[in-house]
Chain A
C-alpha cells in the first residue's frame, strides 16, 4: 500500500499512460489544456476600475461548484467537486479517485457612474485543480487558480500645468496574480480533519500610462511591469458530527498575513527611445490575516446547505495610494444544493440534475472617498453528472459592486461559470 502511494505521487511529475491507463491519458489531455491556456487565467474582473490598486482586485477563493453556492464552502466536503475553500476538505473526494477540474468563465460587466456607462465582456479559462485520494487519512490537491486580476482602461483629460491646453492620457492595466497551490488533508480523528494549502502566488501586472502626440510633445509611454511573488500558507479544520441521517460540519480556516514581494521594471519611452527608470513608489503590500468560519448540514448528499463568514485584516494593509483606504473585510455567504436523485441515478439526464443556489455579501477592503466598495451577488447553478462521479457544472451569478453615491463607479456584472470535473478510480480496491 505504501509503495503504491509513492508511485502515485510521481504521476504528477512523470505521468506514464501505459502504467496508469485511462487515468494517465485524461490527465495528459488536461495537462495539455493547462499548458495551452495558462495565459488565459486571470482577468476575472473585466474592466473594473477598482482593479487599478495594488496587485489588482482580489478574486475570492471559490472555484467550481462553490461559485454556484455563493462562494460558500468552509464547512463543505469535497465531493464530486474539489472544495478549495477549506484545505481540510480534500478527503471528501470519492475514495480511491483522482479528480480533475477545469473551469471557464465568462463575464459581462456594466460600469456606471452618474450619467456615464460602459460595458465589456470576456471569456477565459478560470482554473485547474486536481485532487488525489491516497488513503483513508490522506488526500491531496493541487492546482492553479487566480488570485487577483488587473484589467482597466481609463482615458483621462490632462492639462498642461501653466497653460490652458489639455491632452489625453490613457491608463491601462492588465495581468494579475495566479496561485499554484499544493494542499493536503489529513484525517486526525474519525470526525476531525485538518489540512493546509501551500501556495506560490506569482504573476505579472502591466500598467501603462500613455499619451498621444500633441503640439507640445511626442507620444510617450510610461510602463511599469510589476512581478509579484509570495509563498503563502493557509490552514483548515473540519469537524464532523453524524446525527441520524444528517451530517453537521463546522469548518474553520486561517491564513497568516504574508508579504507579497514585488519588483518593478519601470520604463519610459519617448521618441522611440526607451529608458529604464528606478521605480520610486515600490509597493509594500501584504496578504492580510484571514479567518473564516463555516457551518453546514448535509442529508445523505441529497440536500446540503452551508453558511460562511470570513474576515480579512485589511485595515493594516496600506496601498500607499491617496485615493484608496482600507478596512477589514467581511464576507457572508450561504449556499444550498439539492440533488434529488444523487443516490439512485439512471441514464435520464434530467432527473439526475443537481440544483444549487447561493448568495453573498462582501464588505470589501476597499474604501474610496470614505465609501466602502461593497458587493453582493446571487448565484444559481446546475450540475449534470456523468460517468460515475464526473460532473459538468454551470452557474450564473449576478452581482453588483460599488455604489453610485459620491460619484463612485458601480459595476453590475453577469458571470457565467462552467466547469467540468472528471474522476478516475486509480485505486481499484479502495480501502
Chain B
C-alpha cells in the first residue's frame, strides 16, 4: 500500500517537473545576452553597402510652375552669371470695399488720393540695396484660370501699357516700416470715387466690379537688376486705398479699401533668360542638360522651374547580384562649395519618379534629409530615401532604363521662392548608396 502511494507521488512529480523546467528556462532566457561561439557561426546573411552605381545628374526645366494661390506677390528682377536674368511680375484682381455697408458717401465728400498698399513678406532674392522700379497697370482682360484651375509662371494677361502708378524705391523687406505705398493715378481714383458717390451698380458685387476693373499687374522694370522682393498677397495686406474726407467734420477722413480679391487668381509671371548661361539649350521640359555639359554642375531653382534629374544607368547590374534584397537605397547630392549661404540653401527637397520625357509620374514626393556643414560647406548634403522606388523597380526583375528621378523644391518653395541649389557631382558626397542584404 505504501509503495502504491509512492508510485502515485512519483507520477505526480513526473508531471510537474517539466512544467517547472519550462518555468526556470523562461527566467533564464531574457536575462543574458549570449555571445560565446560568435566565431564559429557561419552567418548566411551579409549586409553590404554598394555605392559604385553611377549617378547621372542633369538639369531639366519644368514647363509649368504653378504660381497662383500662393498668397505671395513677387516683384523685381535679378541677374547673375549662373542662371541669367529672372524677372517676376505679379497679377491680381481687386474687389469692392468691405466698408460700403457702414459708410454712405455724401455729396460734399472730397476725394484725396488713391494708393496701392503692399506689405513685405520678408522674403527677397538678390541684392536689395539696389533700386527697383515697379509700374502698376490696369488689366484689359479678366484673369481666367486654366483648365487645371491654376495659373503658371509663364502666363500673362493683356494690360493697358500706360501705367497708372510708378515707384522707384529701395526695397526694405526687413525694415520695421513694413508697407510700401504706390501712388495711383488720380484719374483712376476719381473714377472709383464717383462710382461710390453714384452708389453705382458696379460696386454691388465683386463680379460686377471685376467686369469693370479686371485687375492689376505690377511690372518690374528689367533695367533695374537687383532683387526680387516678396509681398503678402492677401486681402488684408494687398489693397488699393481710396482716401477721402468729409469737410463738415473735423476728423472727417474716410478711407475705402479695394482689397485683392480671390488669391487663387493672384499669380506671378516669372520670366527667365538663360541666354548668357550654360542653361541656354533648355527650352522645354523634354530637354535634358547633362552635367557633363555644364562643368559637372546641375541646377535647381524655384520659380523658374529648374529641377535636377537623376538617372542610374548601371542599375540593371543589381539584377546580377546573388540572392538578396535591397534594404535601403539612398541618393545623396551635395551642393557646390561656396555656392550658397546657410540661409539661402533650401531646407528640404523632394524626389519624384519621372519618365523618359521628364514628366513627374508619382503623386507624392519623398522628402530629403539635409545635413548642413555650416562651417566649411564640405559635408553639406541632401539624402533621399529611394528604397521604395528601387524595390518597385526590382520587383518585376526589370529595371526601366528610361525611368529616373526628379529632385525639386517643396511645392511652396517651388511656386513662391527663388531658392537655388547647385549640385556638384564631382564631390564624393553625390552618390547612390544601396544597402544590399545577401541571404
Contacts and interface: CB of A to CB of B under 8 A. Distances in A.
A160 B35 contact: no
Contacts of A124: 18, 21
Contacts of B33: 155
Interface in A162-188: 162-163, 167, 169, 171
A154 interface: yes
Nearest to B35: A155
B36 A154 contact: yes
A123 interface: yes
B167 interface: no
Interface SS majority for chain B: mixed
Contact of B36 (A53, A116, A122, A216): A116
Contact of B45 (A153, A162, A215, A222): A222
Given A37-B18, A47-B34, A154-B41, A270 B437 contact: yes
Interface in A13-66: 29, 33, 37, 40, 47, 49-50, 52-53
Nearest to B436: A161
Contacts of A217: 47, 327-328, 435, 437
What interface size band does chain A fall in? 35 or more
Interface in A273-330: 277, 281, 321-324
Contacts of A158: 43, 47
Nearest to A279: B44
Contacts of A104: 14, 17-18
A19 B35 CA distance: 57
Given A118-B34, A122-B21, A323-B42, A161 B28 contact: no
Contacts of B25: 121-123
Interface string B28-66: 100011111111111111111111000000000000000
Contacts of B325: 270
A333 interface: no
Contacts of A407: 39
A139 interface: no
B439 interface: yes
A162 B439 CA distance: 17
A322 B21 CA distance: 35
Contacts of A387: 3
Given A33-B14, A121-B24, A323-B39, A161 B48 contact: yes
B38 A123 contact: no
Given A113-B36, A152-B34, A169 B43 contact: yes
A167 B45 contact: no
Contacts, number: 133
Contact of A121 (B11, B28, B35): B28
B14 A102 contact: yes
A93 interface: no
Which applies to chain A's interface (DSSP): helix, strand, loop or mixed? strand
A192 interface: no
Given A162-B49, A217-B328, A386-B3, A409 B43 contact: no
A40 B18 CA distance: 7
A393 to B, nearest CB: 12
A409 B439 CA distance: 28
B195 interface: no
A123 B24 contact: yes
A125 interface: yes
Indicate the member of B32, B34, B48 with the most A CB atoms within 10 Å.
Answer: B34
Interface in A255-287: 268, 270, 277, 281
Contacts of A215: 328
Contacts of B327: 216-218, 220, 270
A156 B49 contact: no
A385 B323 CA distance: 61
Contacts of A123: 17-18, 20-21, 24-25
B36 A161 contact: no
Nearest to A278: B323
Contacts of B11: 29, 33
Contact of B38 (A102, A156, A220): A156
Contacts of A37: 18
A277 B24 CA distance: 36
B291 to A, nearest CB: 25
B10 interface: yes
B249 interface: no
5 contacts: A104-B14, A104-B18, A160-B435, A161-B47, A162-B49
Given A154-B41, A216-B435, 10 more contacts: A111-B36, A112-B36, A122-B21, A122-B24, A124-B21, A125-B18, A152-B37, A216-B327, A220-B45, A222-B45
Q: Enumerate the 3 nearest inter-chain pairs by beta-carbon distance, A residue then B residue, closest first.
A: A49-B37, A123-B21, A217-B327
